[in-house]
Structure 1
Amino acid sequence: RNPEVDALLDEARNTLDIEKKKTIYKKLHEILADDAPYTYLWTLTNYAAYNRKLRRVSIHPTRFFTYVKDWYIVEEGSD
């Protein structure tokens, strides 16, 4: 946690002046950029699809096959 960030967030929430908010958020962005432990430079594109015969399909956004052990296939026409 960063007490300066917390204070600036509180100040921004309680400020109605748009120009003052811009100044506060600019300062917040500077602090967060300086304090960032790492920056994502790229990410993989994931695609998902499933067949109607599959049941209990749950695809987690970052751990793609986490719940694959729970999937099962049903015969056509039976549920």
Structure 2
Amino acid sequence: ILKESILITGLVTNQSIRTAEMLDVEVVLLVRGKIPSIKVVDLAIDSRVILLGTKLTMFNTSGMLYADGIKGINYDMQW
């Protein structure tokens, strides 16, 4: 559904990877310097999900991506 999207989250659980899998999101960006466990990293590898991280807050991360031209999802057009 969201093949060219990024899931930005502060949750470092298996559920974040499972959600990305369900939505066909290929990249999960972890904010606030969160470090995933080995189990989460292994699940991401097995699920072919790319994990990225930043020390920035979700607000600042989203703002910087938007300023660089990455827009949010237009739900009217997606669904």
TM > 0.5 between the two?
A: no
Which category of TM-score, normalised to the shorter sequence, fits these structures?
under 0.3
Q: Which has the larger radius of gyration?
A: 1
Larger relative contact order, structure 1 or 2 (CA cutoff 8 Å, min sep 6): 2
If the length of structure 1 is used for normalisation, what is the TM-score? 0.22
If the length of structure 2 is used for normalisation, what is the TM-score? 0.22
